[in-house]
Every structure is written in C-alpha cells, then in structure tokens.
Amino acid sequence: MIPFATIKFYELDNPDKIVAITISAINGSYAIKGLDTYSKYIVKVSAPGIDEQAFISRPNSGKIKFGDISTHTQLVVDEGYENPVEKQSFTPDTFEDKKNITIVQMIEMLPDLEIVNNDIMTKDGGSVRLMVNGFHLDVTLFTKLKDLPITDAIKCMVYYDLSNFEASLYDGVLNIRLNAGDEAADPHFRAISLLPYNK
C-alpha cells in the first residue's frame, strides 16, 4: 500500500453506498472500525499519482463480529512510479533560537500550518491529518504530548502536502517523529490478497 491512500468501503450489494472511509498511514496500513466483519465489501483505493483501484474484501470468518478490518492492499503501479507527494522536514534545530518551545508551539510556527480551535489546518483552511511515528494518532495521546519541550521529545516533524491530489481525504499530513517508540515500517503483503473488483 502507498502512504496517504484514500480507502473507501462500499456495500457489496449497493456499490454506491459508502460505509467507511479513511487514509492510510506512513507504512500504508489502515484500520476501519465498526463494520460487520462477516460481510464482504467493495474496497476502493486511490493514492497520489495512482488511479483508483477496487477490490473485494474478505470476511473475517465470523471470528470477530465487529472490530477492525485491517488490510495491506497491493496496488498495481507503473514500474517507474515515484511518490509525487512533496514533503518538508523540520527539526528542533530549525528553530535554534527557540529550543524551549513545546510541540504545539512548534506546529504553530510551521510555515504552511496553523491551529484553529485546537484543530491543525493549512493556512488556507485545508484539513490536516496528524500522525505520530507514522501511525494514526489517538487524540488522547496528542493531549499528553503537545506540551512537551521539542528538544526532549522529537526528532523532527515532517509535513506532507496532499493539496494537489483531488481524491485525497486530507489536504496534508503532519507526522511527528518522536525520540521514543517504534516507527511505522514498510508493509508486507503476505497476510491478505484481495480479488480485483469489476462492475
């Protein structure tokens, strides 16, 4: 899976009805909560520089009635594909004269972003997805992290600009790489192989 792909789940018997939507993390993984895992779904995936592709999900064999459906879907891409997403990286040294600032203060100083009513947005009002170490972020975790000093807490912040990709769920992704904890690794494709979906 490609990072920052938009993943949409549709009812198999009603292909126009979206039942869930999300964006993939840095390692291409994602999880959908609250779907009936006995059922099959049409899964449509689009990513920066890649046309939408569709698959049929596998049922969970009834092991878990409701829960996460997490898959690594291998997209078909051209041999010379390079991810076109532009990124900017900022370290604590970027703000050398302000090394005592907190994580949330550093976010407010990034050139393309602002915080409005506790939401991180682009300066022209676009939506931004926050990740930590390449993974989707639990809001409660950010509440614990936001007031930590950047010199103790982070390696860097990386902003990925998705505003040029029409099918993207967000206009950008901000990934905070912490000094501690595991980071997202490249996905593997051995667990699940989904059948292509054709109308």
- What DSSP state is assigned to residue 109? H
* Bigger pLDDT: 142 vs 148: 148
Instruction: Tell me the mean pLDDT in the region 94-113.
Output: 86
pTM of the model: 0.83
Task: Give residue-wise pLDDT tens across range 112-127.
Answer: 999 888 889 999 999 9
Instruction: Tell me the mean pLDDT in the region 184-195.
Output: 55
The pLDDT-based confidence of 176 (bands split at 50, 70, 90) is very high
Map out the domains of the chain as residue ranges: 6-82+185-196, 86-178
Task: Give residue-wise pLDDT tens across range 44-72.
Answer: 988 888 888 888 887 766 555 555 566 55
Q: Does the pLDDT at position 163 exceed 80?
A: yes
pLDDT given for residue 47 in this prediction = 86
Q: What CATH homologous superfamily does 86-178 map to?
A: TonB-dependent receptor, plug domain (2.170.130.10)
pLDDT given for residue 69 in this prediction = 64
